[in-house]
Structure 1
């Protein structure tokens, strides 16, 4: 192509794409993926989907033809102990055209957060949690013989066997058993960390279950879904960091279990970001991929501390993608928005 034609092409491209947000791509140096085609398996996930608002992301989600869709919490906004109302809201969400199309082609996983659980920032104290669990499982179309129908909490794990490897999807419940939070005093923050050793995020039964899942897992990748952030803990909202001993407990479990390729997925915050930490004894970095929200975002975001953040916060509507290559043991993690715009990306080799 000669120089004049090149300038014309650039001008046409600027007309086509000039209104789209700027792409921010962070590529890990240890991921030699120049010639990698991430086609072995695709997981899409997201959180914070208000059934009263238009979700403009179903179309770009469907364009990636994901094998799995994971609801990360706040899958509807209800904040109620009225099960008729909650059921109505779930029905509205279930009948959304884009989601109906997705359900026909992808396997559905999901956890809840506070607004679909039924109580803002709620935990074990919510009086209608067992009734709310039934509605949540109905929304996910969980089989009547599934163990989640017989026990407290919506936590769940499933091993996915593929021609080139295996994936273990581990969905946590950070609501049903979670202890009370400590309100922050003399600060603009909502909460402060509990005294070390006091309270729990998962509760005894779920911790025992998770320990067994990770310790016995032979999967190439272990995807842990938490509705609230795990690594980012200084913002003063809900986070695992409000229970610092529980953070240490999960870190230790991941190391001691020798589980391969552990990746954390989270939501809740109405912002999207990558957080990453190196943990002694773990031969890969632990990444917490936060994707939120699907129908609304914290567009007025002006900053908050997070020493583990990779690149910058995305504060417009977005969804998350994980694309796997089992030959190179590499995962492409992408934040994408309206019109399928790539907002940020990490390539990580495991």
Structure 2
């Protein structure tokens, strides 16, 4: 019996070593991401995501639902999420990056005027695992970038902060829409814009940008880059000027998942915005909304996103994954 037990554990060890070796030699770079996560609701995805053997997980915002200026309350919510056994086991297996959105920032639909944003920033950086002496601790906002190298290819991850510097939005007079378009204002703020353009200018094979709010879908009347159309044009201009290759945008916020695709003048590939939301709750009463750039159908049940970059063929395969591993939507793009 003792020999059988030893043999069993030896088999497990060999399997784990094989899995690790397979991950190192793979020519795919796999990213998982998600948003809209209430710590007091069950999250059905951590175990499923753990089994995906990904290279990176990116939080798309709304890690918690604090909506408060009470930093003790916010800190306690982050602690509760970190204490979740399934989540803790998941993040032990891979790097984690991320940005915030309004509810973990501290105020619904909040922007630059939020009074506790400096304190909130430090709590978010604590949660995401940012070192106490990191440069990110000494600047305003939670934007960040990191480059991964695998199979001889480089993959740059750029995480934007669409909250800390954002101009106040203008209410819509249309009762079916929350906000209207405004001609002046900013989403990223000048300091972050300059940083973003510098990051885009660095040569890399693939660039993945996490925005938190949607970039392309702009007709629904909720929060979107489209509320400030000049900022969308500035984004597209920055891509063109940088000559950045294979750029993919990720977003969350909406409690729905969908793909948006736009042909941008000057780019030799379409710009895709892959929205994935939410992890613990979703827009179950969704009954349709316009999006001129939509590809496929809207998913209004709980889900997370998976981005698989084939480093040999330069193809990116995107999947919306629901409870039980069900594939609810998918899209591929060659670069």
| Both structures adopt the same fold (TM-score exceeding 0.5) | yes
CA contact (8 A) 2:67 2:108 kept: yes
- Per the alignment, residue 63 of structure 1 pairs with 51
Provide structure 1 residue ranges, at least 5 long, that are not aligned to the other structure: 1-37
Among 185, 199, 202, the alignment partner of 1:199 is 185
Q: Report if aligned partners of 2:27, 2:151 keep a CA contact under 8 Å in 1.
A: no
Q: Distance in 1 between matches of 2:227 and 2:72?
A: 33
Match of 2:232 in 1: 247
CA RMSD of aligned residues (A): 1.1
Task: Give the 3-state SS of the residue equivalent to 1:226 in structure 2.
Answer: strand
Per-residue CA shift, 1:169-191, capped at 9, x if unaligned? 00000000000101001432000
Matched, 1:44 2:32: yes
The whole-number CA distance in structure 2 between the counterparts of 1:187 and 1:324 is 42
Q: Which runs of 4+ in 1 moved over 3 A?
A: none
Q: Is the contact between residue 47 and residue 90 of structure 2 (CA under 8 Å) also seen in structure 1? A: no
Q: Decide whether the 8 Å contact of 1:117 with 1:175 is kept in 2.
A: yes
Equivalence for 2:131? 143
Higher RCO (Cα < 8 Å, 6 or more apart): 1
> Using the alignment, how far apart are the partners of 1:247 and 1:238 within structure 2?
13
User: Pairwise mapping of residues 94-243 of structure 1 onto structure 2 (< 5 A)?
Assistant: 94-195=82-183, 198-215=184-201, 217-243=202-228
1:39, distance to aligned residue in structure 2 (A): 5.0
What stretches of structure 2 of length at least 5 have no aligned partner?
1-25
CA distance in 1, matches of 2:100, 2:141: 10
Query: For 2:234 and 2:64, how far apart are their aligned partners in 1?
Result: 31
Change beyond 3 A, Cα 1:186–1:330 = closer
| Corresponding residue for residue 27 of structure 1 | none
> Would the aligned equivalents of 1:182 and 1:192 in 2 still touch at CA under 8 Å?
yes
Contact 1:164 1:327 (8 Å CA) reproduced: no
* Count of matched residue pairs: 311
Matched, 1:339 2:324: yes
Q: Is the 8 A contact 1:301 1:315 kept in 2?
A: yes
